[in-house]
Amino acid sequence: MIQARKLSRTFKTRTGPVQAVRGVDLDVEKGEIVGFLGPNGAGKTTTLRMLTTLIEPTAGEATVAGHDLRHDPVGVRRNIGYVAQGGVTLDIARAGEECVDQARLYGIKPATAVARGRELFGQLDLDGLWDRNCNSLSGGQRRRLDIVIGLMHTPALVFLDEPTTGLDPQSRANLWEHILRLRNDQGSTIFLTTHYLDEADYLCDRLLVIDNGTIVSAGTPEELKSQVSGDAVTLTLADHGRAQDAVSVLSGLEGADTPTVDGDQVQVHVPKGGAALPGLLRELDGKGVDLAAVEVRRPTLDDVFLSLTGRSLRDEPAA
């Protein structure tokens, strides 16, 4: 569905050129949900805007939905849907008319557009809102309306830019289900950008981690997490004095990294924390090291990002 090679984009600004995207290679297969994960400013939206023909790449080639980006942008546009980050509707326009107007620009006849629009309204929980002004819709409703507008012409490939940013947790979870249904029921290929780890984890078949304009890693969420040093086993000691004993036991575990001590907490990373735990507790008990608490934590995508870039995604300012 998408093949991009060495896609780059440099912006000329007053303070000198800014390389927003540097040589991105992408492959997306039909029916995949692929996520572009990265902090704000990483180049996600710029890459998306290049792939949707809204801006021209300064270098690189791409084929999107079977059409060459540079030589057949109109062909690309016919076959993709794009839902922009900040919304796409006019306050004073009506929900239904925004959908129909958009569909007509793809050559769809008004009557067909109305039928299609109403069908999508039903699928995305927007029943009864057809004649409402866009500014009278809630945040979640308006976002779902944005998505309906992007889907009016039934594109095989859909680009979603930060689909759930700014929504409350319920609306987010609700929208995730709709996105999954898009792929499962309609066979759509979905390319989304996000800086939410839970979203990337839940929705995406594959992830591309982008930082500073380049792709630093790619793979399924599980693959990426397993590349990180492993599960974090954290012991809270009843007696700080026994920290060194705890450390020596932990370092003995198979595949363990160097344990770290922080006050009364000792932490180590091991490949399979759950499996190591019973033996570990027995050994600590045998040495008379009393524990106040034990925690095993599976790696998160934040750990992935941290290990890849040395920075935590959570350190970035909130969207």
Smallest separation, CB 259 to other proteins (Å): 51
Report 118-157 residues binding other proteins (CB under 8 A). Answer: 149
CA separation for the pair 147, 86 (Å, rounded): 12
Among 91, 285, 290, 315, binds other proteins (CB under 8 A): 91
Identify the DSSP state of 54: S
Contact range with other proteins by CB under 8 A, out of 19-27, 86-94, 173-181, 275-283: 86-94
Instruction: Name the phi and psi angles at 139, rounded to 5.
Output: -55, -45
User: Which helix (H) or strand (E) segment is 280 a member of?
Assistant: helix 273-286
Smallest separation, CB 106 to other proteins (Å): 6
111 binds other proteins (CB under 8 A): no
Of the two residues 102 and 164, which places its CB atom closer to other proteins in the complex? Answer: 102
Smallest separation, CB 276 to other proteins (Å): 51
Q: Could you tell me which residues are beta bridge partners of residue 118?
A: none
Residues 6+ apart with CB under 8 A from 243: 237, 261, 264, 266
**59, amino acid identity:** A
Of the two residues 61 and 97, which places its CB atom closer to other proteins in the complex? Answer: 97
The three-state secondary structure class of 39 is: coil
CA separation for the pair 45, 63 (Å, rounded): 18
Residues 6+ apart with CB under 8 A from 314: 302
Report 251-290 residues binding other proteins (CB under 8 A). Answer: none
Binding mask 25-64 for other proteins (x = CB under 8 A): ---------------------------xxxxx--------
CA separation for the pair 168, 165 (Å, rounded): 9
Contact range with other proteins by CB under 8 A, out of 30-38, 81-89, 253-261, 300-308: 81-89
Residues that bind other proteins (CB under 8 A): 52-56, 74, 77-78, 80, 82, 84, 86-93, 97, 101-102, 104-107, 149
